[in-house]
């Protein structure tokens, strides 16, 4: 792009993924890859504006060089122009951001809606199959996964427009955690003492893995003074600690239970995609066999679910791909297309 070219459809845009733990920012020219990617610790900032000022300062961008279009993925419900994140004490005012940075185009979508938006554009190398049959073309898809919280979104076909999709943002991570065994029920009962309502996120997230481990310790008669950090639970499991290994196994099982519920709810014969930072960090500890067994354990609908493929997204930054697609649509006035 020529330095003199200020066409809004060719000028670099700002992409930002604001999670409960990590902030990712990048520049991207339509049709091109994200570049000048930076990762920051979210807790180091008091809000999005401070993070953006830091990023622009690090890149040494003068005010007349700032992007005029931006799209942000927010870990929380995006309702109206004033947004509060779920696992971070940030209050976001879209009008204030637009005014402060001079954005002509500014989008904010749920972080897992951004992941869902990315799925039609992922290459085969960007995902790893965890079981099931072949995806059914044109059927709904679910993107979900544990990170600081539990994100859930869906991608559904647009009626009458073959090959086009609509992302549906949800707060499905906050549904009540189902118990499918006596052990599950005992864990839920133990967590109810601490939290009252036990959502899926209370177990299926980074903090959730720590909660699960602590509940198992309490049920074993050896309550912890304080929950271990999620990474400490993982390290203990890798060393062969029985309680930590059981916590990880149950984490995989409960993830499968919730994934199966989502597959039935959305009729997601297009596939279930796992994203988020926790499953990749588990590495070889992730028990795909247990995950799939619980996924399909729905009585009369076992066969239906056994046919549905499940994938782990291996691309490092799918949300940025989804944000770019959403911004393309906003700037060009068209609906998401299938790759």
pLDDT in tens, 47-75: 999 999 999 999 998 887 899 999 999 98
- The residue with tokens 């949800």 is 170
In the structure encoding, which two tokens stand for residue 307, read together?
């046919």
Tell me the per-residue pLDDT of 16-46, one tens digit each, with 9 for 90 and over. 999 989 999 999 999 899 999 999 999 999 9
pLDDT of 336 higher than 90: no
Mean pLDDT (whole number) for 159-175: 87
For residue 99, which phi and psi values (nearest 5 degrees)? -70, -45
Question: pTM for the complete prediction?
Answer: 0.90
Lowest-pLDDT range, 149-153, 168-172, 333-337? 333-337
**185 vs 143: CA distance, rounded Å:** 26
pLDDT of residue 7: 47
**248 vs 241: CA distance, rounded Å:** 11
Q: At what angle do helices 206-219 and 242-266 cross, to 10 degrees?
A: 120
pLDDT of 334 higher than 50: no
Domains of the chain as residue ranges with CATH: 13-111+319-332 (3.30.420.40), 123-314 (3.40.367.20)
- The residue with tokens 């009540």 is 176
pLDDT of residue 332: 80
**24 vs 320: CA distance, rounded Å:** 9
Confidence of residue 255 (pLDDT cuts 50, 70, 90): very high
| CA neighbor of 34 nearest in space, from 133, 121, 129 | 121
Confidence of residue 162 (pLDDT cuts 50, 70, 90): low
Find the radius of gyration of the CA atoms of the chain.
Answer: 21
Confidence of residue 329 (pLDDT cuts 50, 70, 90): confident
pLDDT of residue 6: 44
The mean of the pLDDT values for the chain is: 92
Tell me the per-residue pLDDT of 116-126, one tens digit each, with 9 for 90 and over. 999 999 999 99
């Amino acid at each position: 792009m020529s330095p003199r070219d200020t066409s809004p459809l060719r000028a670099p845009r700002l992409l930002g993924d604001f999670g409960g733990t990590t902030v990712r920012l990048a520049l991207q020219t339509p049709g091109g890859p994200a570049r000048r990617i930076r990762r920051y610790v979210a807790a180091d900032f008091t809000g999005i504006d401070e993070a953006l000022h830091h990023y622009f300062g690090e890149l040494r961008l003068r005010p007349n060089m700032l992007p005029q279009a931006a799209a942000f993925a927010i870990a929380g419900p995006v309702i109206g122009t004033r947004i509060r994140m779920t696992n971070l004490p940030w209050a976001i005012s879209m009008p204030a951001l637009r005014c402060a940075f001079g954005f002509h185009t500014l989008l904010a979508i749920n972080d897992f809606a951004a992941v869902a938006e990315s799925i039609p554009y992922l290459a085969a190398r960007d995902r790893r199959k965890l079981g099931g049959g072949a995806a059914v073309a044109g059927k709904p898809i679910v993107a979900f996964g544990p990170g600081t919280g539990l994100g859930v979104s869906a991608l559904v076909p647009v009626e009458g427009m073959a090959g086009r999709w609509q992302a549906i943002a949800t707060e499905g991570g906050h549904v009540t955690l189902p118990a499918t065994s006596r052990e599950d029920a005992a864990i839920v009962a133990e967590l109810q003492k601490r939290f009252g309502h036990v959502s899926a996120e209370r177990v299926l997230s980074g903090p959730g893995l720590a909660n699960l481990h602590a509940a198992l310790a309490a049920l074993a008669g050896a309550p912890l003074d304080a929950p271990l950090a999620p990474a400490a639970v993982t390290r203990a499991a890798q060393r062969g600690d029985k309680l930590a290994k059981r916590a990880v196994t149950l984490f995989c099982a409960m993830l499968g239970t919730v994934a199966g519920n989502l597959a039935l709810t959305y009729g997601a014969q297009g596939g279930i995609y796992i994203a988020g930072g926790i499953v990749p960090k588990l590495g070889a500890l992730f028990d795909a066999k247990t995950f799939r067994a619980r996924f399909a354990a729905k009585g009369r609908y076992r066969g239906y679910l056994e046919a549905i493929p499940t994938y782990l997204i291996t691309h490092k930054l799918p949300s940025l791909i989804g944000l770019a697609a959403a911004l393309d649509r906003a700037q060009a006035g068209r609906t998401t297309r299938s790759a």
